[in-house]
A and B are shown apart, each in its own frame.
Chain A
């Protein structure tokens, strides 16, 4: 499965989707003008991953900021992972900065809305 790497810009996140190494990470900022377009290849990748997943999947979400249209796209990804979690081990590691209570509560919100395991990690 091909890996998808998207370098960060000052309004789009850094994306590493690497099947071989198992590294799946979305980090930095996500405030694109058109979140649907930006996330569409990412969602496609997850759809493909779902067809041939690894035994264990760890997804690192280390976002500093995201806008509401990105929030919906993240919700889409989480729904795919929820499907995956029915028969596989899936863990979402949700990183948040110690001084950003909003990012923490966004993660908690998602964790209540989808049936996937979350681990919350505070970045000092």
Chain B
């Protein structure tokens, strides 16, 4: 059997470049509910914990995320339109150097543009103390929207960010527009070029969002892989997929194995704290899910892994069963670094061959990416 071709390879490679630059990025695009929100928060918390940031900053990032996620959950059905863009909320957190960039997005009717713009402009015109009293004023007057106080949420986000809120509307169709809210929390006073930085990073987000829509990417995680982040990602999968329960179970198994491979076997070239660096993303293609994971590995193990994948891909169904059953009761390889049962399980459970690609980084390390279609 021929090896399945690796899909969105260009995209995987660009993610890989991002992985080298950014310490963390997490993107979720789709329907938001409590479980999704919780999973995003716990995943990010794992990464916040392992980073050398002041606890004040961490708390701020966390608070902004909570407000932002609540905003999407509340407003994701603000338009009646059923277009892909209109029905998919967006959450992106990125950490590059020492800055966090938090973006939320949802579709809304064009008629609400003046209201939202007015509110954000008002908030942006106030200084720290004025914001504080405006917050109290809105709270006391109960000037809550019928959805339960999004105005307060925005004020709170502005206060926590210590900066102006950036936003943008991009038209979807004649009735609807996509609303992006972009926050860059900082502790120090904002520098003179803040507006420029914010504009550029928001441009970049809009561009990423276009790619996400085009490739139908539902989730991207780039950060440390450990048992905690694995659990967070699995929780997202449980909350998100509207497929049949059987399909969901399959997805859960396969993602679990793919990520546990990274937790256990990947290399950590820069000795990052908390776990091995890795990326993972889910895209959809004609009703099929494409699961892609990537990590670093030592060059000396590349050939062995390559051979193993080729071997597993070329087995007949009967041979695969026999090989699996043999490995299941072979306790000798328990402690070895060999990916035995895991790889064959991926093929068995997915019912497809495994695609992979390798890219040599330097004399020590190779970037390895694995893709499974279900």
Contact = CB atoms under 8 A, between A and B. Distances in A.
B227 interface: yes
A65 B248 CA distance: 12
A100 to B, nearest CB: 5
Contact of A65 (B256, B325, B335): B256
A6 interface: no
Given A67-B257, A100-B245, A36 B334 contact: yes
Nearest to B349: A102
A109 interface: yes
Main secondary structure of the interface of B (DSSP, over half): helix
A100 B246 contact: yes
Given A11-B227, A65-B252, A72 B341 contact: yes
B345 A68 contact: yes
Interface in B327-374: 328-329, 331, 334-335, 341-342, 345, 349
Nearest to A113: B325
Nearest to B261: A68
A75 B328 contact: yes
A113 B342 CA distance: 19
Interface string B244-282: 111001101100110010011000000000000000000
Contact of B264 (A33, A65, A71, A76): A33
Interface residues of A, number: 23
A102 B328 CA distance: 16
A75 B231 CA distance: 24
Interface in A89-124: 97, 99-103, 109, 113
Interface string B141-172: 00000000000000000000000000000000
B329 A99 contact: no
Contacts of B249: 65, 99-100, 102-103
A65 B245 CA distance: 13
Contacts, number: 59
B334 to A, nearest CB: 6
A99 B253 contact: no
B236 to A, nearest CB: 14
A11 B226 CA distance: 13
Nearest to B325: A113
A69 B342 CA distance: 8
A51 interface: no
B246 A68 contact: no
A36 B335 CA distance: 9
B246 A101 contact: yes
A11 B328 contact: no
Contacts of A76: 331
B257 A99 contact: no
A65 B238 CA distance: 13
Contacts of B325: 109, 113
B334 A113 contact: no
Nearest to A112: B325
B289 to A, nearest CB: 16
A86 B324 CA distance: 26
26 contacts: A10-B231, A33-B226, A33-B227, A33-B260, A33-B264, A65-B252, A65-B253, A67-B257, A67-B260, A68-B257, A71-B345, A72-B331, A72-B334, A75-B329, A79-B329, A99-B245, A99-B246, A100-B246, A100-B249, A101-B246, A102-B246, A102-B250, A102-B253, A102-B349, A109-B328, A113-B328
Interface of A: 10-11, 31-33, 36, 65, 67-69, 71-72, 75-76, 79, 97, 99-103, 109, 113
Given A75-B328, A100-B249, A113-B328, 10 more contacts: A11-B227, A11-B231, A36-B335, A65-B256, A69-B341, A79-B329, A102-B246, A102-B250, A109-B328, A113-B329
Interface of B: 226-227, 231, 244-246, 249-250, 252-253, 256-257, 260, 263-264, 324-325, 328-329, 331, 334-335, 341-342, 345, 349
